[in-house]
Every structure is written in structure tokens, then in C-alpha cells.
Amino acid sequence: MLSRHFLRSKVLQAVYAGRCDERDAITVAKSFEYNIAKLNELGVLQVSLLPRFVEEGMKVLEEGKKKFRPTEEDRNPSMRLGENEFIRRMEDNFELKKHREAWSGCWETHSDLVREAFVDFRKMAEYKRYVSLDTVDYEKDKEFAILLFRYLMNREALIAVVSERSLLWEDDFDQVAQYNFMMLKTLTEENFDEAMTWPLMYDKRVEKDEADMDFARQLLRDTMACREESEELIKSHLQGWEFDRVSKMDILLINMAVAEFTGCPSIPEKVTVDEYIELSKEFSSERSKLFINGILDKLVIELRSKGRIKKSGRGLMEN
């Protein structure tokens, strides 16, 4: 599930890149759609680490038995990890299996890094506690799998492997990992089986996902279309500032806010202002939030007086 805040940030990145490279609106729109679709690949790569980790871990344990001078732990390792019911269901799920075959081949190429992760994790108290349990049920297996997922998502070597596949993924990694972390928590013993539809970060089959994407597409189109008009509005409210010296990112954030004010009747102006102030904290300078807030306050008044802002609907959306 893509939050609207996250979608706004992806629209911002797409339009900013388009302006830097002087791309036309169609090319920018295609780039945006491609980058959103790639998020699903990133998500599958992340969760695919769990079954791959188990596979490599079992190999390490079997190889330990064949050492020339094995320790007692080498001779009789706990194989509990290989019996984890939650991860086994991940391996057996039809949809996830199809996605893994299409997207997750990089872990076969970097099995050495997965092995290193297992060797380090095997030394941790959480691992020793889990494999020493006399009885394990689905909930304990799930709890352990989610703990393991958090561990893997913080391995710098594994993050680097994923990030190398796409320039955008370094910025998106944490957001997608957080989605997967929360999603895995929702998989119950009753709803998680082979035939379950695997939850993707963006799923065209989910009505809310498609509605949010329609919002983002419209925001992108309107931002591209109203650029010149928005910039003239901004110029008329600059006091003590020269337009050419204003950050390009700040101008774009204000352009997007204007497009949202005028093109999204169900979103309150306050929500729009708050969203773009938050985006300025992520993508612009420390002082930008004050500048953007001041300009947007003036633009709301002017656009209202001209009848350009018309809010309607059964209650206004809060995000």
C-alpha cells in the first residue's frame, strides 16, 4: 500500500528529474509509472531473503558436520530454522514463488553474503533461544521470521546488493522494508497459505491502491501543465526575493501544491500545505519550510478569491 505522502514524493522526484533533463510530459509520466512498478520488485527482493537465508543456513549446518575436526555443535546442530512454518509458507505461496522466479535471482549470485549473514546471526542470543525451544508453533515461527527480516534489512552488505540494481532503490529501501515488515505481521495462520494473493506494495487489483495512483497521476499531469502559470503566481508574491535565486526544488514544491489546491477538491488546503512543508524538510533546505509556508498562505487566499479553489465531497480527505 502506497501512502499519498510517499506518492507525492515520487511525483516530485519524477518532475524534478524531468525538468533537469528537459523531458516532455509523456516521458516524465512513463518514468513515474516505471519507478512505481519497480517498487514491487524491490519488495519481493527483500522478503525473498528469508527463504534464501534458511536455504543457505541449512547448507552451512550440513557442511559443519563434515568438518575434519567438528565440534559437538557441528555434529549435532539444531535444524529448527529449516522447520520454520512461517518461512515454509512463504516458499510455498504460488504468487510469491512466481515473483521470486522473475525478480529475486540476485541472491543466488550473492549467496556468499547470505551465508555470512547466517554465520553472524547464528551467534546471536535470539537465534540460540529460538532453536533451543522444545515446541514451536506458528506464532513463534512468525515472530522469529519477522525478527530475522529486521536483522537482514539492516545488513549493509545486503542493502548494497539491492541498491546496485536501481539508482532509486537506495532512497526507497527503508520505505519498502517498513511496508514489508508491517505486511508480514498481518499474515495469520488462517489467511496465509499457498493460494493467498501475495500483498504487493502497489497492486492494481486493490481499489485503494489504484485510487491513490490516479491521484498521483493527476497531480503529475497538473504540475507539468500549470508550471508557467504557477511560477507567475509565485513571482507576484515574492518580497525581498529574486525568483532566479529561489531554489528550484522550492519552486517545484509550490507548483505541486498549487496543482493540488486547484485539482483535488476533496483534499483540504491545510492538508496540502502540511504535506509540502513536510516534503521540503525531506528534499530541500532547512529554511525552505518557512518560505514555502509563507508563499502558500498567500496563494491560498488569492486562488480562493479567484474561485480557483473549490472544495467539495462528503467530508474532505485528511491525507
- Write out pLDDT tens, residues 77-99: 889 999 999 999 999 999 999 99
pLDDT at 134: 85
User: In this predicted model, what pLDDT tens digit does every residue of 136-174 receive, in sequence order?
Assistant: 899 999 999 999 999 999 999 999 998 888 877 888 999
CATH code, 226-305: 1.10.940.10
Question: At residue 10, does pLDDT exceed 60?
Answer: yes
Q: Closest Cα to residue 84, out of 104, 110, 63, 57? A: 57
pLDDT of residue 244: 81
The residue ranges of every structural domain in the chain are 4-185, 226-305
What pLDDT score does 104 carry? 67
Q: Confirm if 47 and 87 have CB atoms less than 8 A apart.
A: no
Query: What is the pTM assigned to this prediction?
Result: 0.85
Q: Measured between alpha carbons, how far is 318 from 95 in angstroms, rounded to an integer? A: 34
Burial of 185 (0-12, 13-18, 19+ CB in 10 A): exposed
pLDDT tens column, 221-240: 999 998 888 888 888 888 77
Q: Determine the 3-state secondary structure of 123 from DSSP.
A: coil
Q: What is the DSSP letter of 80?
A: G
